[in-house]
């Protein structure tokens, strides 16, 4: 099996959410953060026939990158062989027992959305850059009855710098708080839905990838 560039990019993104992953038969990948506050799901072009677990996904991907055109062959339930038809080298990479992995046990039924908008790739990049530049740990998505704003801030510091960006319109008033570190999503355009049940849903508009990210408890609707 050869993994496409898109699939490798998805796996790299998933490794930032959780370095464990459990591959299951079929063409769906999913992962969940150790704190259970980020769930991600993707549909890929490849199809797996066997369930197997990788304990250190970052290491596995680095192993794959050792080859110009890597081919992965799953050998039963114990290990995979990574090789390149034009190379004499090969790696025997052993799987992890699923009992030691943190993986999703079930999906999420998204509650009724309270607010919805489209987040543009460029706008998301601006928010991320501002949060990093100003060392701000929190992201707020705010509605004031007219506009929706993304705000990078430090909600524990009343004299904190903050950065705001208008991303849409709304007739509702709300403040949805997130940890900035929880925005581990692939850079792209997204359809965003937020529920007063304190869960959000980010659906990638160009790739079959979606994320559910929990809001912080002090969010208000």
Query: For residue range 34-46, what is the model confidence (pLDDT) as tens digits?
Result: 999 999 999 999 9
Whether residue 49 is contained in a domain is answered as yes
Domain annotation covers residue 26: yes
> 129 and 90 share a domain?
no
Given a contact cutoff of 8 angstroms between Cβ atoms, the answer to whether 200 and 212 are in contact is: yes
- Domain extent for 143: 115-214
Residue 140, domain member (yes or no)? yes
Q: Domain ends where: 46, 74, 100?
A: 100
Tokens (6 digits) for 61: 């991907």
SS3 content of the chain, % helix, strand, coil (to 5): 20, 40, 40
- pLDDT at position 115, please? 96
Question: Which CATH number does the domain housing residue 122 bear?
Answer: 3.70.10.10
Q: What is the pLDDT of residues 174-217, one digit of tens each?
A: 999 999 999 999 999 999 999 999 999 999 999 999 999 999 99
3-state secondary structure of 57: helix
Confidence band for 52, pLDDT divided at 50, 70 and 90:
very high
Residues 73 and 119 in one domain: no
What digits encode the pLDDT tens for the residues 58-112? 999 999 999 988 999 999 889 999 998 777 899 999 999 999 999 999 889 999 9
- Does 192 map to a domain? yes
Q: 134-168: per-residue pLDDT in tens?
A: 999 999 999 999 999 999 999 999 999 999 999 99
On the 0-12 / 13-18 / 19+ scale of CB atoms within 10 A, 210 is buried
Closest CA to 167 of 124, 202, 113, 216: 124
pLDDT at position 20 is 97
- pTM of the full structure: 0.94
Where does the chain show beta strands of DSSP type E?
A: 21-23, 26-32, 38-48, 52-54, 71-75, 79-83, 90-94, 115-119, 138-144, 147-153, 163-169, 173-179, 190-195, 199-204, 209-214
Domain tally for the chain? 2
Residue 49 has pLDDT above 90, yes or no: yes
């Amino acid at each position: 099996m050869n993994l496409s560039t898109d699939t490798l990019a998805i796996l790299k993104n998933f490794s930032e959410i959780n370095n464990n992953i459990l591959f299951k038969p079929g063409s769906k990948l999913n992962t969940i953060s150790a704190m259970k506050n980020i769930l991600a799901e993707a549909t890929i072009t490849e199809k797996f026939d066997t369930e197997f677990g990788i304990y250190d996904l970052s290491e596995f991907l680095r192993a794959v990158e050792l080859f110009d055109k890597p081919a992965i062959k799953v050998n039963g339930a114990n290990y995979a062989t990574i090789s390149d038809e034009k190379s004499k080298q090969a790696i025997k990479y052993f799987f992890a027992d699923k009992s030691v992995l943190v993986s999703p046990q079930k999906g999420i039924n998204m509650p009724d959305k309270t607010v919805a908008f489209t987040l543009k790739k460029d706008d998301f990049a601006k928010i991320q850059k501002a949060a990093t530049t100003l060392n701000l740990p929190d992201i707020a998505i705010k509605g004031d009855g007219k506009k929706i704003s993304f705000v990078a801030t430090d909600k524990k510091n009343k004299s904190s710098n903050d950065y705001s960006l208008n991303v849409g319109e709304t007739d509702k008033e709300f403040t949805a708080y997130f940890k900035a570190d929880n925005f581990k999503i692939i850079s792209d355009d997204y359809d965003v839905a937020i529920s007063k049940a304190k869960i959000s849903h980010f659906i990638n508009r160009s790739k079959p990838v979606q994320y559910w990210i929990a809001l912080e408890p002090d969010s208000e609707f």
